[in-house]
Amino acid sequence: MMRFFRKRAKKPGLPPGTMVHTGEATTQAVSVSCIHYNDKEMETVSGKAVTEEIRVRHPDKIAWINVDGIHRVEIIERIGEVLDIHPLTLEDVVNIGQNPKLENYDAYLFIVLKMLYLDEAHDEVRAEQVSLVLGEGFLLSFQETPTDVFDAVRERLRKGTGRIRKSGADYLAYALMDAMVDHYFLILEIFAERMESLEDELLDRPGPDAMARIHEMKREMIFLRRQIWPLKEILGQMKKTGPPLVKKTTHVYLSDVLDHTAQVVDAIASFRDILTGMLDLYLSTVSNRMNEVMKVLTIISTLFIPLTFLAGVYGMNFKYMPELEWRWGYFGLLGVMAVVALLMLLFFKRKKWL
């Protein structure tokens, strides 16, 4: 349940802009790094020196400040101070219960996204909040924990492949979002495989836990959709944002990642449809099997009950029962029983109950 609704640590009534970290308490160190780059050179600073570095901005360079870990509120506050970030923005950065969204603060765009990964231990998808602050000439990125999703972008920056070193902070923001959406595909691939094996299992040996698993996967789909769906609107809004924050040349790239997001959302919808179909199929298969069992069992009972009655009749102790004295009475009755049983079987057969 808690994945769908995040308790607010902040006490109701606190003034807006109060920063309260709402994630799980952790003692992990917070790592801050800053990469300055332009077409020709690139420089990386990390640790405490970062804030000093930001203070002396390089007007001809793009600055990417990445913060891994958001539980040390005072670090984020200092960065916000130096770069002139609105307190409401900082409040949302540390409050991990946000839905994905884009807010235009004129001086910068504030984007909240969800990084998804599969928690193998609990076998469910978990979401970590990634916040981006895209200003003129700088990009701030905040992650709850260090992940390797942005490593490929860092690598491209170092090598200078592609357009990344030649473009602005908006292209960098695009590159990060693209990396995250590519990551969504990995999650979907795992689900596609699971669904396929689940379907095989359903056809082979439908058990009661299969249904629980289908329900679980449907719930995962609700969760995934809720995390990814808003991204479409965010990208649409980004494209509408004019320069200087988002340049026209970046639009085609935003369209591209929007297109991929639409594919993901589409696939989730299809998965839900298929899971619903599987559930229906499972339920009617189970009920069919059950019905078959009951039918066969009831037929067996029905077959023997009249025969037992006949046996009961000739088990009676009346003094005058002429049949009992007949020489072939016993074998005759056995014959009658066989005939009755046969007739009933024929009747069932003709009615197609067997």
Residue 90's DSSP bridge partners are: none
CB nearer a copy of itself, residue 46 or residue 99: 99
d(CA 337, CA 314): 12
Burial label for 234, CB within 10 Å (0-12, 13-18, 19+), is buried
Cβ nearer to a copy of itself, comparing 44 with 161: 161
Q: What is the DSSP letter of 78?
A: H
Tell me the closest approach of the beta carbon of residue 322 to a copy of itself, in angstroms: 8
User: Measured from the CB atom, is 54 or 176 closer to a copy of itself?
Assistant: 176
- Check if the beta carbon of residue 126 is closer than 8 Å to that of residue 119: yes
Block residue for tokens 């308790």: 7
338 near a copy of itself, judged by CB under 8 A: no
Distance CA 334, CA 340 (A): 10
Nearer to a copy of itself, 29 or 300 (CB): 300
Sites for a copy of itself among residues 233-292 (CB under 8 A): 252-253, 255-256, 259, 262-263, 266-267, 270-271, 273-274, 277, 280-281, 283-286, 288, 290-291
Helix (H) or strand (E) run with residue 110 in it: strand 108-119
Which residue's entry shows tokens 């449907």? Answer: 218
Question: Around Cβ 21, how many Cβ atoms within 10 Å?
Answer: 20
Which candidate, 65, 113, 115, 110, places its Cα nearest to that of 89?
A: 110
196 binds a copy of itself (CB under 8 A): yes
Which of the residues 41 through 70 are near a copy of itself (CB under 8 A)? none
Cα distance between residue 222 and residue 219, in whole Å: 5
Closer residue to a copy of itself in complex, CB, 60/200: 200
The answer to whether residue 293 forms part of the interface with a copy of itself (CB under 8 A) is yes
Neighbours of 226 (CB within 10 A): 16
Q: Return the CA Rg of the chain.
A: 35
Q: Supply the minimum distance, in Å, between the C-beta of residue 168 and a copy of itself.
A: 15
**Smallest separation (angstroms) from a copy of itself to the CB of 28:** 24
CA 33 to the chain's CA centroid: 30
Peptide bond into 244 cis (omega under 30): yes
Interaction of residue 86 with a copy of itself, rule CB under 8 A: yes
Does 27 bind a copy of itself (CB under 8 A)? Our answer is no
From the list 99, 338, 339, 346, which residue makes contact with a copy of itself (rule: CB under 8 A)? Answer: 99
Q: With binding defined as CB under 8 A, does residue 29 bind a copy of itself? A: no
Least CB distance from residue 72 to a copy of itself, whole Å? 23
Q: Within 10 A of 117 (CB to CB), how many other CB atoms are there?
A: 15
Q: Which of 199, 213, 227, 250 binds a copy of itself (CB under 8 A)?
A: 199
Q: Does 122 bind a copy of itself (CB under 8 A)?
A: no
Establish if 183 lies at the interface with a copy of itself (CB under 8 A).
yes
Which of 161, 335, 339, 342: binder of a copy of itself (CB under 8 A)?
161
Write the binding mask 304 to 323 for a copy of itself: x where contact by CB under 8 A, - elsewhere. Answer: xxxxxx-xxxxxxxxxxx-x
Peptide bond preceding 59 in cis form (omega within 30 of 0): no
Smallest gap, in angstroms, from Cβ of residue 71 to a copy of itself? Answer: 21
For a copy of itself, the closer CB: 30 or 147: 147
Q: Give the whole-angstrom CA distance, residue 112 versus residue 110.
A: 7
Q: Which is nearer to a copy of itself, 30 or 160 (CB)?
A: 160
Q: Token pair for residue 114?
A: 């969800």
Q: Which of 143, 178, 228, 234 binds a copy of itself (CB under 8 A)?
A: 178
How many whole angstroms from its chain centre is CA 213?
14
Nearest-approach distance from CB 37 to a copy of itself, in angstroms: 15
